[in-house]
Chain A
């Protein structure tokens, strides 16, 4: 039998089945290299720094961590960090869910416009955006002046430099993350599921709590994790709008680097913050696996 005869394949070895792929696994090598140099190595260096620099060289490698977790002040800051993140997450959820629901169910062709309006604030620099809030909220700012003129407040207040301003600034920036996470999942919830529930006797509110909300939990979880982790890491809003009334871990890191210049302690704080973030992601992964809707 000559080589290349079509019959050769019948007697010969079966062809190795190879699934069709657009690209091979080797295509991710550039990304891996990039992340290796600019993420993994600095991260490792940071961990070493927290264990081996400054007072850690004399007082044992875990000195900074012990100080961070046992000292009442620093423990309080960690708790405050988690508290601020939790509150801003809940606020974003309360503000964001109705917007997401409206976008998916009613916006129709205006959807693209709303998405643009949501993303637009993210296009401006965070400093400009934050100072913008100061202009509105400060003692001689637009908002308080107007409220004073209407007689709603006895004298112009300084609403900037208050926790209120911090949460306002955080929700302003982070609500889009929540909204877009929820819309992505809500879009997959067929409106006819809600209609089925209605015909079966569920009230509008009952339908929401029994059908819509359970089916959009994935989006809520994703949005909450995003907002929580980003709040944990953000410090400019706290710095510029908090007036020193809110001290979070990220703000402390900034101070350690720039004011105290205790690099080892700052590194330990950074790693602690990273660890909190990782715990959140692990919780999310676990939650999604449990409630994930298989369809």
Chain B
């Protein structure tokens, strides 16, 4: 009881300009909810000759939000549909908590799901939509009413119970879809591009709001998205997928700062890729690398594992980590092609001798460019990311 009172002491939290108030009953249920982990054990799926999903094993901890991030056709939606039960995996199993649900139909899995198109039932009112799952569970009418009102209060649409769906705005429909998915107290929440249909401003606000609700309820969640910003903002861990398999899993900062390969580096934000050859060690964890394409230019990189002299490596450097300065002999140089003002920074497009693709540098301030446009490029050794790909 004291624990509950302690929770009531902070009745609301303010996030992104929104105040989210949890009704007391929901909070009580929150404390009862034990977050359940979800395990994917070697699931794979082929459609005809196309392997949509290569064997995938992944554990999502109880209460964690995992984002499946990747371009269309990477297998993220197939994974979600296997978890939901709309597709049966060719091999492997889906385990929720300790229960193997692979053979169960979607209605026996106890999941909540939010679709990109919201998928609200157009022939029912807002209240009937939210109550649908409870009705299917055989919850009594009186309890249904109470729980629907709680849920509508949670998504701040308490006054809209009797509205028709078509009377709601996109953001409101999105919240009703969330309320409908959460009202049955599902073990796992599946989000299929949940904010894809909203405009940019609303999408950013909803990212925070959704994350807040997910963390409050402590519900295990899987977010499918192709929007890297959405994945980085909302989830605890991001699994980057490509061609039916997970390329890298990690916390958002790790994925962004330490992408494993070229695909991850380029899919999450912009990355400048440059090849080089290790020439020798300069200090304890630093190696000297001669840059490909420009004789005499070199840079130093930091690595925890020893690099063999003479080995070819591929480096990625984020645009905001590169410094533009005067040309210094022995370092990388490039010619400025274009400068674009992007509001919070200046974007420089440069062409380096011997490089096929342009370099991009984001700078907080406008640089003095010499008349011939040639500038020197430099970065700290720990900002050069060594990729696993071979050049």
Contact = CB atoms under 8 A, between A and B. Distances in A.
Nearest to B86: A195
B106 A198 contact: yes
Contacts of A291: 123
B133 A201 contact: yes
B367 interface: no
| Interface-central residue, B85, B136, B190, by most chain A CB under 10 Å | B136
A291 B122 CA distance: 11
B123 A214 contact: yes
Contacts of A210: 132
A294 B132 CA distance: 19
Contact of B122 (A192, A198, A202, A215): A215
A199 B132 contact: no
Interface residues of B, number: 27
B46 interface: no
B122 A199 contact: no
Contact of B117 (A190, A197, A198, A293): A190
B258 to A, nearest CB: 36
Given A201-B107, A294-B166, A295-B166, A196 B136 contact: no
Main SS of chain B's interface residues? mixed
B164 to A, nearest CB: 7
Interface string B225-263: 000000000000000000000000000000000000000
Main SS of chain A's interface residues? helix
A10 interface: no
A199 B84 contact: yes
Contacts of B115: 192, 195-196
A201 B119 contact: no
A239 B106 CA distance: 52
B166 A200 contact: no
| Interface-central residue, A201, A293, A294, by most chain B CB under 10 Å | A201
B107 A198 contact: yes
B107 A203 contact: yes
Contact of B106 (A199, A211, A293): A199
A202 B92 CA distance: 26
A189 to B, nearest CB: 9
Nearest to A195: B86
B164 A198 contact: no
A201 B86 CA distance: 13
A295 B122 contact: yes
A202 B107 contact: yes
| Interface-central residue, A198, A206, A291, A293, by most chain B CB under 10 Å | A198
Interface string B119-130: 101110000000
Interface residues of A, number: 22
Nearest to A206: B136
A193 interface: yes
A193 B133 contact: no
Nearest to B111: A199
Given A199-B111, A201-B133, A201-B136, A193 B119 contact: yes
Interface in B131-166: 132-133, 136-137, 164-166
Contacts of A202: 107, 132, 136
B75 interface: no
A195 B164 contact: no
B121 to A, nearest CB: 6
A195 B132 contact: no
Nearest to A294: B166
B222 to A, nearest CB: 13
Contacts of B181: 199-200
Interface string B100-123: 000001110101110101010111
Nearest to A200: B133
A192 B166 contact: no
B184 interface: yes
Nearest to A215: B123
A94 B113 CA distance: 33
Interface string A268-295: 0000000000000000000000010111
B227 to A, nearest CB: 19
A289 to B, nearest CB: 14
A37 to B, nearest CB: 43
A206 B105 CA distance: 13
B76 interface: no
Contacts of A295: 122, 165-166
A196 B166 contact: no
B137 A201 contact: yes
Contact of B123 (A192, A196, A198, A293): A293
A27 B166 CA distance: 35
Nearest to A198: B106
A293 B137 CA distance: 26
A290 B86 CA distance: 34
B180 interface: yes
Contacts of A204: 105
A158 B175 CA distance: 64
B123 A197 contact: no
17 contacts: A192-B117, A192-B119, A195-B115, A196-B119, A198-B85, A199-B109, A200-B180, A201-B133, A201-B136, A202-B107, A203-B107, A204-B105, A211-B121, A294-B122, A294-B164, A294-B166, A295-B122
Interface of B: 84-86, 105-107, 109, 111-113, 115, 117, 119, 121-123, 132-133, 136-137, 164-166, 180-181, 184, 190
Q: Which 10 interchain pairs have the tightest Cβ spacing?
A: A201-B136, A200-B133, A198-B106, A196-B119, A192-B119, A199-B113, A201-B107, A293-B122, A202-B136, A294-B166
Given A198-B107, A199-B113, 9 more contacts: A195-B86, A199-B84, A199-B181, A200-B132, A202-B136, A210-B132, A215-B123, A291-B123, A293-B123
